[in-house]
Structure 1
Amino acid sequence: MNVRSSIRRGAVALAASALLVGAMAGPAQAAPTTIHSGRSGGWSGTWAASPHEPTEVFGPSWSTAGFDDHSVRQVVRVSAGGPSVRIRLSNAYGTAPLELTSATIAKSASGAAIKPGTVRKLTFHGRHKAVIGKGGELASDPAWLRVEALDKLTVTLYFKRPTGPATHHAFSSTTSYRTTGDHTRDTAGSAFTETSPSWFYLVGIDVRGLLPRRQVVVAFGDSITDGAVSTPEANNRYPDELAERLVAAGKPRGVLNAGIGGNRVLNDSTCFGERATHRFFRDAIDEPNVGAVIVLEGINDIHAPDAGGFPCFDPPVAVTADQLIAGHRELIRQAHKRGVKAIGATVMPYGGSAFFTERGEAVRDALNAWIRTSGAYDAVVDLDQATRDPANPDQILPAYDGGDHLHPNDAGMAAMAAAVDPTEL
């Protein structure tokens, strides 16, 4: 079964509508295992994905049924390098303890294949098996695999026993692979015949030893940060483009993507994750070695009541600019409490999209005016100015339009990254 096309069609349909946008012997011995990754010395985040609840609102998904005697192979591109690496796994939305039978990390080859000689068997507290408690997160032990900036890595997880519903990240803009049995050490990808456009359980990859203190930046946001209509497999999301800019300048650092499609500042969603004010600590400021967070959130709060009763935007409340500003102030407060720099990004144009209204535009304008002029954020990235059409400032520049008049295409993603001043990070 290939679920990539069905979920991708669901994502595109959503973009055209509402989104347009330890190891133990067995679960009986497992206690909930959670680490505060941001407090773990010596590590820096080099890749991340924000988890959310299982859902099939976009089509068939492995997340709702989970896995049973399955190997799941996931490909990611890191932003910074180091001499050793670890992974972080989350069971945040599981219904029971999660038993992991074995796991590996390797340098990626093509598709599901990995490079011979680079496969590293992962351990957790010295053991190959691990149990992650319901709601918990677990980091692997260090694996001695030298990672360079912008390397592609492949993580393979094997679950011998049924997992139940899987914590996942729906829109990865890349391909994950599945097969039956333990194929964690296979260098060929031929056994992995099933595919999905989502990531499962994997929420972070960290490197050790090279980056100075506070050198990680988190891009926090919704589907625009998530790269909703960027080219699949191309790593053209705006955080990816920013990482490439920093590498080209000879100053690589961890750039982490904490976007969730459809996410809102003030309201939870069973499809689009917990509200920003609730997930901000976990997904942004508790990341290892984080020094700055770029916040781009609010457009889904603005147009949710105009989404035609789409269930993922339940409740479809109409928020005011003052309410959104209060939400942003809460994010700033949380960042400053941990000594993290808070960078505000203005909300980009959505004129011409299916749910544009003058009411919503007035809220967007007021929020952007506050971000630019209040001084509440430590710095500002004016993405509205960087991407709008000078001839029609309420709309995105046609050259940057991904087709729905809200999400930027690859060129728009590059323009967003170019608007970030590296000295502000």
Structure 2
Amino acid sequence: MRSEKSRPWKKSGRRGLLAATAAVCTMLVVSAAAVAHDAGPQKSRAAAGPAWTGAWGTAVQQPVEGSEDWGPNWSRQGFADQSVRQVVRVATGGSALRIRLSNAYGTAPLRITGATVGRSAGDAQVWPGTARKLTFGGAEGATIAPGRDLASDAEALSTSPLEKLTVTLYFAGRSGAATFHRFTTATSYRAPGRHLTDPGGDAFTTSTNAWYFLSGVEVSGSASPRRGTVVAFGDSLMDGAGATPGADNRFTDKLAERIVAGRRPLDVVNAGISGNRILNDSPCYGDKATDRFRRDVLDRPGVRTVIVHLGGNDIAAPEMGDPCMGDAPRVTAHQIIAAHRELVRAAHARGVKAVGATILPMKGALFPLYSEQGEKVRTAVNHWIRTSGVYDSVLDVDRALASPADPALPRPGYVFQDGLHPNEAGSHAVSAAVDLNAL
């Protein structure tokens, strides 16, 4: 949750419950069939084709202006004769990779002139000799229709677990408004002109904390035939509010590290959106979770399990007075539970295991969020997640973060300065509460 008056990128400490506090020559017009989402795990792969899993990913949102709270972004203006370099950390490695680009919220075809991927050398730098040109159906460029996405061809760049990569996109003409992810704990860089293979970062003179058009990095070539993807789906707890920028200490980062240390054949994708709700859309915090679930979870390749943390923003929205939230009706536990049931049914219909995460303690937030009625709703939803048996297993975020003295409050050492979101110790506690065998 959050108020539009909060300033996470300035470390002011006010941010939403699930909003965030810290502070893409020759064009190939791709047919609708070519740009369709990958089939989920319910469809068998061709025997000769590689088995892809999502090693990194993000949930995309409609363009929205930057603000004092969230910092500047380039989503509304888009790009023209500019290169955009974005840094991501893959959860696990493989012998080949491809990227996925989204024009989900575009109103015109998105023309990408060129794209490269390489190993990050810090900031906007790429390790010399590692930048590889990516192709799309054999061509350097591509056009993605409005509302569609597109995966690049496979590139034989081997990756290691927890390695950082740079993805650089060049737009010769105007891209139009950018489908993007608004809040990240990483930095993206922009340069005038074509700088796809520059190892240095000198040309990239401006930056933001958002991702543009890039929605996934997928890998193949794992030694394990049982490899699959775990998608963390929800609000700012998943998105990483409260995490230190650039430090890779979000809950999903900690979970990926546990998985790597345990030699589990699993990738982790973060599909959280700060401020997201399960029952209602909002102008700044994404489509409601029940509407975006297929795109952001089920249509990713190799998805095996989804972890769901949602409902806190629905409960808190009436208290927040945030115009960026849009409609903020008071909701009941019954409404939230019915939406959770819908997500679980959709996951199970695609053969995906669903893990329910209880809603984190909200009473200690240092901005308008808590109410006695809202706490009753939170308690009822958490009780249902724990006891109903609808979810395949439970991640008890509430108990992992709660104060022993007052369960409605978070443990003081586990929260960021906004009094709500987990800091590094809190993210570690939540990750430690995950039963890896249940994934």
Do the aligned partners of residues 162 and 191 (structure 1) sit closer, same or farther apart at CA in structure 2, a change above 3 Å counting? same
Aligned residues: 416
Kindly indicate whether the alpha-carbon contact (under 8 Å) linking 2:56 and 2:90 is maintained by their aligned counterparts in 1.
yes
Which amino acid is the alignment partner of residue 394 of structure 1?
A: A
Kindly indicate whether the alpha-carbon contact (under 8 Å) linking 1:295 and 1:345 is maintained by their aligned counterparts in 2.
yes
Instruction: Please report how far the alpha carbon of residue 120 of structure 1 lies from its aligned counterpart in structure 2 after TM superposition.
Output: 0.7
CA distance in 1, matches of 2:20, 2:286: 17
- The aligned residue for residue 410 of structure 2 is 396
Kindly indicate whether the alpha-carbon contact (under 8 Å) linking 1:37 and 1:288 is maintained by their aligned counterparts in 2.
yes
CA RMSD in angstroms, aligned pairs only: 1.9
1:136 aligned to 2:138?
Answer: no
Kindly indicate whether the alpha-carbon contact (under 8 Å) linking 2:231 and 2:305 is maintained by their aligned counterparts in 1.
yes
- The aligned residue for residue 407 of structure 1 is 421
SS at match of 1:256: strand
- The aligned residue for residue 103 of structure 1 is 115
Matches within 5 A, 1:200-219: 200-210=212-222, 211-213=224-226, 215-219=228-232
Do the aligned partners of residues 113 and 277 (structure 1) sit closer, same or farther apart at CA in structure 2, a change above 3 Å counting? same
Report the TM-score when normalising by structure 1: 0.94
Please, which of 287, 304, 307 is the counterpart of residue 317 of structure 2?
304
SS at match of 1:64: coil
Instruction: Please report how far the alpha carbon of residue 250 of structure 1 lies from its aligned counterpart in structure 2 after TM superposition.
Output: 2.2
- The aligned residue for residue 331 of structure 2 is 319
Which structure has more helix as a fraction of its residues? 1
Please, which of 248, 264, 270 is the counterpart of residue 283 of structure 2?
270
1:225 aligned to 2:222?
Answer: no
- CA deviations on 1:277-329 (whole Å, 9 max, x unpaired) are 00011111221101100001110000001112x11221111110000000000
Kindly indicate whether the alpha-carbon contact (under 8 Å) linking 1:269 and 1:312 is maintained by their aligned counterparts in 2.
yes
- CA deviations on 1:55-107 (whole Å, 9 max, x unpaired) are 12534320110001110000000001100000000000112000000000001
Do the aligned partners of residues 172 and 38 (structure 1) sit closer, same or farther apart at CA in structure 2, a change above 3 Å counting? farther
Matches within 5 A, 1:116-265: 116-210=128-222, 211-213=224-226, 215-265=228-278
1:50 aligned to 2:59?
Answer: yes
Deviates more, 1:261-270 or 1:29-38: 29-38
- The aligned residue for residue 35 of structure 1 is 36
Instruction: Please report how far the alpha carbon of residue 10 of structure 1 lies from its aligned counterpart in structure 2 after TM superposition.
Output: 7.1
Kindly indicate whether the alpha-carbon contact (under 8 Å) linking 2:187 and 2:246 is maintained by their aligned counterparts in 1.
yes
Instruction: Please report how far the alpha carbon of residue 34 of structure 1 lies from its aligned counterpart in structure 2 after TM superposition.
Output: 2.9
- The aligned residue for residue 393 of structure 2 is 379
- The aligned residue for residue 365 of structure 1 is 379
Kindly indicate whether the alpha-carbon contact (under 8 Å) linking 1:18 and 1:307 is maintained by their aligned counterparts in 2.
no
Instruction: Please report how far the alpha carbon of residue 25 of structure 1 lies from its aligned counterpart in structure 2 after TM superposition.
Output: 3.6
Please, which of 351, 356, 364 is the counterpart of residue 370 of structure 2?
356
CA distance in 1, matches of 2:265, 2:126: 25
Do the aligned partners of residues 18 and 149 (structure 1) sit closer, same or farther apart at CA in structure 2, a change above 3 Å counting? closer
CA distance in 1, matches of 2:30, 2:217: 23
CA distance in 2, matches of 1:37, 1:271: 27
- The aligned residue for residue 3 of structure 2 is none
Do the aligned partners of residues 377 and 81 (structure 1) sit closer, same or farther apart at CA in structure 2, a change above 3 Å counting? same
Kindly indicate whether the alpha-carbon contact (under 8 Å) linking 1:149 and 1:252 is maintained by their aligned counterparts in 2.
no
SS at match of 2:165: strand
Deviates more, 1:358-367 or 1:277-286: 277-286
Kindly indicate whether the alpha-carbon contact (under 8 Å) linking 1:30 and 1:97 is maintained by their aligned counterparts in 2.
no
CA distance in 2, matches of 1:11, 1:374: 39
Report the TM-score when normalising by structure 2: 0.91
Kindly indicate whether the alpha-carbon contact (under 8 Å) linking 2:92 and 2:267 is maintained by their aligned counterparts in 1.
yes
CA distance in 1, matches of 2:7, 2:84: 17
1:280 aligned to 2:293?
Answer: yes
Instruction: Please report how far the alpha carbon of residue 400 of structure 1 lies from its aligned counterpart in structure 2 after TM superposition.
Output: 0.6
Instruction: Please report how far the alpha carbon of residue 352 of structure 1 lies from its aligned counterpart in structure 2 after TM superposition.
Output: 2.5
Which amino acid is the alignment partner of residue 51 of structure 1?
A: V
- CA deviations on 1:218-268 (whole Å, 9 max, x unpaired) are 111101110012000011110110000111122252111000000000000
1:420 aligned to 2:396?
Answer: no
Kindly indicate whether the alpha-carbon contact (under 8 Å) linking 2:17 and 2:420 is maintained by their aligned counterparts in 1.
no
Kindly indicate whether the alpha-carbon contact (under 8 Å) linking 2:227 and 2:266 is maintained by their aligned counterparts in 1.
no
Please, which of 73, 78, 81 is the counterpart of residue 69 of structure 1?
81
- CA deviations on 1:134-186 (whole Å, 9 max, x unpaired) are 11100000001001111100000000101111000011111110000110010
CA distance in 2, matches of 1:34, 1:348: 38
CA distance in 1, matches of 2:168, 2:11: 25
